Amino acid sequence: MAEVTGIDHVYIGVTSLMVSEPFYDRVLREALGLRKNSFTLAGDPNIQYFNRHFGPWPGQNSNF
């Protein structure tokens, strides 16, 4: 498994989070080993993927 340590932020807008989430889980979690966090921002659902060097921050829901 590749270890990613150099990406800080990448935002990808999708038309359907429900459809896109399984794809990004396979690529970013399973293939690259990133962690996942779900949260709401301005009433919109968001998902972030990160490596062990970053977040989540206190109070955020983590789905490791």
Instruction: Answer yes or no: are the C-beta atoms of 1 and 28 closer than 8 Å.
Output: no
Overall pTM > 0.85: no
**Cα separation, 31 vs 24, whole angstroms:** 10
Q: What is the pLDDT averaged over residues 23-40?
A: 90
Residue 50 phi, psi dihedral angles, 5° rounding: -150, 160
Measured distance between the N- and C-terminal CA atoms of the chain, rounded to whole angstroms: 17
Q: How confident is the model at residue 35 (pLDDT cuts 50, 70, 90)?
A: confident
List the domain boundaries for the chain: 1-54
